[in-house]
């Protein structure tokens, strides 16, 4: 289709129904790639519309287009307008499979260009226990190829690039939705019945805090873990306090730069979480190096055993090196989480556990 005459002739032949299937397929394919062809089809459509108008307004004895020609001309006009609009709107808009059938055959313009961002360390960690399986903006089910955004260390997953622009308009609104989902996610395994900061009993409606790494107190807590025998993921972690004053004390930094209340609170929290999950932990093997840690289990005074909390899941590790590796290396974290999930599914029972189960089934000795 090198000339305007050839383009117009092709469109007129299509209007008259003279194209064979191969030629029609060629026209439909070229329509999306050749703006001049779209323009020619639009002009033919307007001419067909003029014929329709003349035929409908003529006398009964006046020769005019048949009903089939009228329907065909109308279809041409609709399809040609849609094709020209598709070309005008930009790349990615095409006609899918044919012209006849009207604008419902028009494919929606392509998604905005999207380049997957490089996630920060904290956002990668949050991806291991992200609480939502739906888009926080549209509510659609998330897919493996769905998009994500890193908001100053906070991970947000969305269905498509269209939602990223909406997310940028009001990020706090959508982060509040994610925080509420973290609260629901961790409520079942929350280990404390007392205020994290003061140790006093919690009221019926405690003050809840989902830790946010965009704030200084959370960054300090993350950094201060480096000298501890345990570590925990900070972002998205739920804590409960008796009142606002207790939560403020938790966030406070003293004159020496320490967070004494927060450090004591996290000791209380982690100890309770370990005690809650340790006895039902599915393996006696370190989740990182996959070696037997029975000696550390039997004699905990050696200090060999270490704990890591990923979200609300406990990992028991054999040494400080494994703890540092898991906390600082995302690939090791992913491998350990997959391995532990497999242990939970298989629930490998060690011989000493089996003996304990047998003893529990025996009747109590007579007094």
Of 285, 194, 179, the closest CA to residue 237 belongs to: 179
- The pTM score is 0.62
- Mean pLDDT of the 183-212 span: 93
Which residue(s) pair with 254 in the sheet?
none
Spatial neighbors of 354 by CB under 8 A, at least 6 apart, are none
Looking up tokens 């965009």, which residue turns up? Answer: 214
| C-beta separation of 282 from 347 below 8 A | yes
> Where is mean pLDDT largest: 22-31, 41-50, 201-210, 349-358?
201-210
Positive or negative torsion for Cα 294, 305, 237, 117: negative
Tens digits of per-residue pLDDT, 125-141?
Answer: 998 999 999 999 989 99
Whole-number pLDDT of residue 93: 39
Report the alpha-carbon distance of residue 115 to residue 196 in Å, rounded. 41
Of 86, 95, 83, 91, the closest CA to residue 40 belongs to: 83
H or E, element range at 180? helix 171-187
Whole-number pLDDT of residue 226: 79
Tens digits of per-residue pLDDT, 67-82?
Answer: 555 555 555 555 555 5
Count the Cβ atoms, other than its own, within 10 Å of residue 255: 5
Spatial neighbors of 329 by CB under 8 A, at least 6 apart, are none
- The yes-or-no verdict on residue 106 having pLDDT over 50 is no
């Amino acid at each position: 289709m090198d000339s305007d005459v050839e383009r117009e002739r092709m469109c007129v032949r299509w209007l008259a129904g003279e194209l064979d299937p191969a030629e029609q397929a060629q026209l439909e394919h070229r329509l999306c790639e050749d703006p001049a062809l779209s323009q020619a089809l639009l002009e033919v459509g307007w001419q067909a519309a003029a014929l329709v108008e003349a035929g409908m307004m003529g006398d009964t004895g006046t020769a005019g287009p048949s009903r089939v020609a009228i329907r065909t001309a109308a279809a041409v006009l609709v399809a040609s307008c849609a094709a020209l609009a598709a070309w005008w709107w930009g790349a990615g808009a095409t006609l899918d499979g044919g012209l006849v059938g009207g604008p419902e055959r028009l494919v929606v313009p392509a998604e905005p260009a999207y380049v997957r961002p490089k996630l920060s360390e904290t956002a990668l960690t949050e991806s291991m226990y992200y609480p939502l399986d739906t888009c926080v903006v549209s509510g659609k089910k998330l897919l493996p190829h769905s998009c994500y955004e890193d908001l100053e260390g906070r991970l947000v997953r969305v269905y498509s690039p269209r939602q990223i622009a909406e997310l940028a308009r009001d990020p706090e609104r959508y982060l509040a939705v994610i925080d509420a989902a973290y609260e629901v996610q961790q409520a079942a395994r929350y280990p404390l019945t007392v205020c994290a900061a003061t140790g006093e009993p919690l009221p019926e409606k405690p003050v809840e805090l989902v830790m946010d790494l965009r704030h200084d107190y959370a960054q300090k807590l993350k950094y201060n873990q480096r000298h501890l025998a345990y570590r925990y993921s900070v972002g998205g972690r739920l804590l409960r306090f008796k009142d606002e004053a207790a939560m403020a004390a938790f966030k406070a930094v003293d004159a020496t730069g320490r967070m004494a209340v927060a450090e004591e609170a996290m000791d209380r929290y982690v100890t309770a979480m370990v005690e809650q999950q340790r006895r039902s932990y599915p393996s006696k093997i370190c989740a990182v190096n996959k070696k037997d840690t029975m000696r550390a289990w039997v004699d905990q005074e050696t200090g060999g055993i270490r704990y890591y909390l990923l979200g609300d899941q406990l990992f028991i590790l054999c040494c400080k090196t494994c703890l540092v590796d898991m906390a600082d290396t995302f690939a090791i974290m992913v491998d350990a989480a997959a391995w532990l999930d497999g242990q939970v599914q298989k629930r490998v029972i060690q011989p000493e556990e089996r003996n304990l189960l047998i003893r529990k089934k025996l009747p109590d000795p007579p007094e």
